[in-house]
Amino acid sequence: MLKVVSTEQVRLGMFIRELKGAWIDHPFWKTSFKLDDPSDLKKLQASVIKEVVIDTSKGLDVLKTKPSIVMPAVEVLSVPKLVHTSAIEEHVRAKKVIAASKQAVVSMFNDVRMGKAVSTESAMQCVDEISASVARNEGALISLLRLKSKDDYTYMHSVAVSALMVVLAKELGLSECEVKQAGLAGLLHDIGKAAIPIDYLNKPGALTDEEFAVVRLHPERGYELMMQANIADEAALEVCLHHHEKMNGEGYPHRLQGDEISLFAKMGAVCDVYDAITSTRAYKASWEPSQSLQRMAKWSDHFDDTVFKAFVKSVGIYPIGSMVKLKSGRLAVVIDQSQKSLLAPIVKVFFSIKSKSRIPIEILDLSKPGLQDVVVGYEDPALWGVHDVNTLWG
């Protein structure tokens, strides 16, 4: 029997069939599940979700009288935590992580080109540093990685996808071990491109049919290289081989569809495309972050819906670097995410729509109580003649 109950009535042992409210406010990536983890109960009752649908045929019903919530005693371990920092503060450390990670990826690609086996030791060190940066600030490293040059794209794309995979894995509630697996998978997902002629990868114009056919071989070549190097991590192998598969079965190399694609490969598909379209390539200019998310949302047959929604939550409705319009009639660029709301980022106001001119810069945390201004939507910088967005947020 299905029943709508308030989150205050929810207790361990219930089967949640549906979370009522906007999907972006959901504290979980799953749409239906058995509630058996005390931390999940606490997370649900602390969220903005006020009602859920339970299935009493698969779990407990509400109590006759409203119970007080008693959390079971657990052993508290003293584990050092990384302190959350602002994006501006993290940029300094993130630049060092990017530089070291780029060198590691360049070395891996060069080793492959010289016929040497791929070593995951330096790769895991990169993943650890990337994970630590993401823990300090989710958006700082990712936003800086978008500024890669077209000549660095092949290498920096691997670093960017690794960071995006780490952030997405955390949002999906995966274990710490799985988060590291996701990061490693992202770092190695394009290793097969080391076996593709560089001229093809950096060609400024459209590839010929023959050249494109060669480039499309990189997932299989990468998988072969990883197997030769005795890399047995299932997530890394899956993402390498299947990050170009689509939910509708029109991807490559095996035209998998739906549940034939693993969770990690579904994650890799989203992260790979997002970084590709938000980066300047040899043959195309980059798209703005918010614009990219809007376009990806229309490609519903490409991505797993649950994974894509979690990805949007992980990078923010308005990712760092997005230009937005405020209710006050001003334009601003997002410089950091608020810890309180995805819809109320920290912005740098710089332009008046009314006067169509620059105004003194003002930094606003739109999540602060009493602040009347709000984001009303994304704006395309090109339409306003704004060409220094990256300078403004960076």
Instruction: Let me know whether 246 and 331 are in one domain.
Output: no
DSSP 9: G
- pLDDT of 71 > 50? The answer is no
For residues 96 and 32, the model is more confident at 96
Query: Could you tell me if residue 379 is inside a domain?
Result: yes
In this predicted model, which residue has the larger pLDDT, 170 or 40? 170
pLDDT at residue 25 in the model: 56
CB atoms within 10 A of CB 144: 24
Tell which of 263, 292, 315 closes a domain: 315
For residues 122 and 249, membership in a common domain is answered with yes
From 307, 317, 208, 209, select the one nearest 266 (Cα to Cα): 307
- Answer yes or no: is pLDDT of 70 > 70: no
For residue 253, cis peptide bond before it (omega within 30 degrees of 0): yes
pLDDT in the model for residue 28: 64
Tell me: do 207 and 103 sit in the same domain: yes
Q: Are residues 298 and 213 in the same domain?
A: yes
Look at residue 70 and tell me if it is in a domain. Answer: no
On whether residue 98 sits in a domain, the answer given is yes
Q: Which of 282, 315, 348 is the last residue of a domain?
A: 315
CA distances from 199 to 154, 189, 218 (A): 12, 20, 14
Predicted confidence (pLDDT) per residue in 265-320, tens digit:
999 999 999 999 999 887 788 898 988 999 999 998 999 999 999 999 999 889 99
Quick one: average pLDDT of 75-96? 74
Is residue 17 located within the same domain as residue 92?
no
pLDDT in tens, 330-368: 999 999 998 888 889 999 999 999 999 999 999 999 999
- Give the chain's domain count: 3
96 burial class (0-12, 13-18, 19+ CB within 10 angstroms)? Answer: exposed
Question: Is the residue at 82 inside a domain?
Answer: no
DSSP 68: P
Give the mean pLDDT of 113-124.
Answer: 79
Q: Whole-angstrom Cα distance, residue 381 to residue 362?
A: 18
Q: At what angle do helices 263-277 and 176-188 cross, to 10 degrees?
A: 50
Contact criterion met (CB below 8 Å) for 84 and 339? yes
pLDDT digits (tens, 9 = 90+) for 24-59: 555 664 557 888 888 788 888 888 888 898 988 889
Q: Which domain holds residue 30?
A: 2-55
Q: What is the reported pLDDT for 324?
A: 94
Q: What is the pLDDT confidence band of residue 69, given thresholds at 50, 70 and 90?
A: very low
Entry pTM: 0.76
Q: Torsion over CA of 168, 171, 175 and 178, rounded to 10 degrees? A: -10
- pLDDT tens digit string along 190-225? 999 999 998 998 888 889 999 999 999 999 999 999
List of residues 6+ apart from 338 with CB closer than 8 A = 344, 345, 346, 365, 366, 367
Please classify residue 369 by burial: count the beta carbons closer than 10 Å to its beta carbon, then call 0-12 exposed, 13-18 middle and 19+ buried. Answer: exposed
Same domain, 206 and 338: no
Q: What is the overall mean pLDDT for the chain?
A: 88
Asked if 38 contacts 72 with a C-beta cutoff of 8 angstroms, the reply is yes
pLDDT (tens digit per residue) in 371-389: 889 999 889 898 999 999 8
| pLDDT tens digits, 243-252 | 999 999 999 9
Q: Which two tokens stand for residue 52?
A: 């859920």
The secondary structure element, H or E, covering residue 392 is helix 389-393
Q: Indicate whether 185 belongs to any domain.
A: yes
Give the per-residue pLDDT at 291: 87
Tell whether 66 is covered by a domain.
no
| Structural domain ending residue among the three candidates 55, 70, 100 | 55
Do 227 and 350 lie in a common domain?
no
Q: For the domain that residue 255 is a member of, what is the CATH number?
A: 1.10.3210.10
Q: What does the pLDDT read at residue 120?
A: 76
- The answer to whether position 358 is within a domain reads yes
Helix (H) or strand (E) holding 235: helix 234-242
